A and B are shown apart, each in its own frame.
Chain A
């Protein structure tokens, strides 16, 4: 009798006990910091001043933020970066996936090769591209010279630096789109496509009326996942240009780092972080929204 009662108590507490280690670590390293970050965004606080020395400024940081020119520069750079890379990667990924669709011997080996750019440390990716873009010793200027284009100071030019980091990102992440969309194409139901073929539909008609609509959920997920990641980008750019020249490649995440540890304004940096947090939150909600309906269908 007592044993049964004990077992019942155990059954009620065991899910919580099992969850406890993960909840503790997530609380300590993720949730509590987010809360502190929100709190800090309402304070003016210099790096090096003790915790007690921070000054409550209410929405002061956000007001300064929205009034500053820097904010709009960073916003523009971030949006140009994010949308250019995601749209290019989607377009290229989709085109290549359609081209490579179907059975192809040795595809697995090629897929492993495509994985490499995204698995290598961002620091190393930054390093490689910085070497390639080097105005004097870099291969890109050398190759351009071979076809008659004059040398360019890629990473030192305000107009070329952003395209240069965008190209590096497209190199790194187009394979991700390609692999996702290929997997999506392979799991499409065969019946509607065969029916369209029997009805005499052209390749283009099948693509726009059958395949793309069926592929929509996969494309949606791929785009949102890439959007979430593209807004996070910092490491490759940090090591290629450190946001320069000027602010021409300072994306959002990098601005957080620079405000906190170069300008040493922790409160202001937190205000930037809070804005990024909300952008990510909206995108994650979007992801849940896209995934849910497809799950229900299955």
Chain B
């Protein structure tokens, strides 16, 4: 009996290690290629042992407007994340603590908007942003990303606020605290874990987003994913350089995964499984 359990666990580990290898292999190829010379990156059979170089990163960082795209990406993502969190937390507070006309409609609307494909929005947003003068501006992209992420933020933060006992609010109200005061003094400090989970998610979506950024920006306001995609031309792809760029875009994802895997899993599975 004891032995059988041992063998079973062994098989489980073998399977899980094999799966991890499959998951990691393409990412491993990405990172190692970015550390090779141009010639090594094209070599078949592939060079497995090589002296890693940072030349591709230096090339990428100091050429081709990379720093401009990077700063575009950072400013758009940071501001839209902050906007999403503020507007989302206030809306979530309103939906979970007040009973008012239109509450049901608003909740259902956010649920439906959460499912909407960016491809459905791309044409009308292009048309509207042209009309409003928001096309090719970072402001336009910030508003777009905030709108895209708000439904998810509201949904998750609402579930966090619902877990806070209403008695806390009532006690504060008795002591003369205003509605806004309750939000900032009672609710907000208690939902900081939720805010953290949501911000990682919202950050990730905005940082990775490609289609809307492609259509709504020009060469001055372009973000990193769009810039990278434009280098993927049909002829003469410089894999060493491009993989360096890809690795730089993937860096936040790699960091988040190892710093906040639990929160990410909670966010990914939110609503599907309790606990």
Contact = CB atoms under 8 A, between A and B. Distances in A.
Interface of A: 10-12, 14-16, 18-19, 21-23, 25-26, 28-37, 40, 51, 96, 99-100, 102, 104, 107-108, 110-132, 136-137, 139, 142, 171, 175-176, 179-180, 183-184, 187, 218, 221-222, 225, 228, 231-232, 234-235, 238-239, 252-254, 256-257, 260-261, 266, 269-270, 273, 276-277, 280-281, 283-284, 287-288, 291, 298
Contacts of B204: 119
A19 B254 CA distance: 35
A100 B243 CA distance: 33
A232 B271 contact: no
A125 B117 CA distance: 19
A127 B246 contact: yes
B261 interface: yes
Contacts of B271: 221, 291
Contact of A180 (B19, B30, B225, B272): B272
A33 B22 contact: no
Contacts of B154: 22
B46 interface: yes
23 contacts: A18-B91, A18-B98, A18-B179, A19-B90, A22-B87, A23-B106, A26-B147, A26-B150, A30-B148, A31-B113, A33-B121, A33-B128, A40-B123, A104-B13, A116-B23, A116-B24, A119-B204, A121-B225, A123-B225, A123-B229, A221-B273, A232-B119, A280-B116
Contacts of B265: 111, 115, 179, 183
B33 interface: yes
B109 A284 contact: no
A166 B108 CA distance: 33
A19 B122 contact: no
Tell me the interface secondary structure of chain A in the complex. helix
Contact of B87 (A21, A35, A218, A234): A21
Contact of A273 (B30, B120, B225, B256): B120
A264 to B, nearest CB: 11
A29 B124 contact: no
Tell me the interface secondary structure of chain B in the complex. helix
Contact of A36 (B91, B124, B147, B242): B124
A228 B106 CA distance: 21
Nearest to B9: A104
B243 A131 contact: yes
B115 A280 contact: yes
A234 B131 contact: no
A11 B179 contact: yes
6 interchain residue pairs of minimum CB distance? A29-B147, A253-B119, A15-B98, A22-B91, A18-B94, A121-B208
B34 to A, nearest CB: 11
B86 to A, nearest CB: 7
A119 to B, nearest CB: 4
B257 A277 contact: no
A99 B12 contact: yes
Most A C-beta atoms less than 10 A away, residue of B87, B126, B180:
B87
B83 interface: yes
Contact of A22 (B19, B30, B150): B150
B95 A112 contact: no
Nearest to A168: B26
Contact of B147 (A25, A110, A273): A25
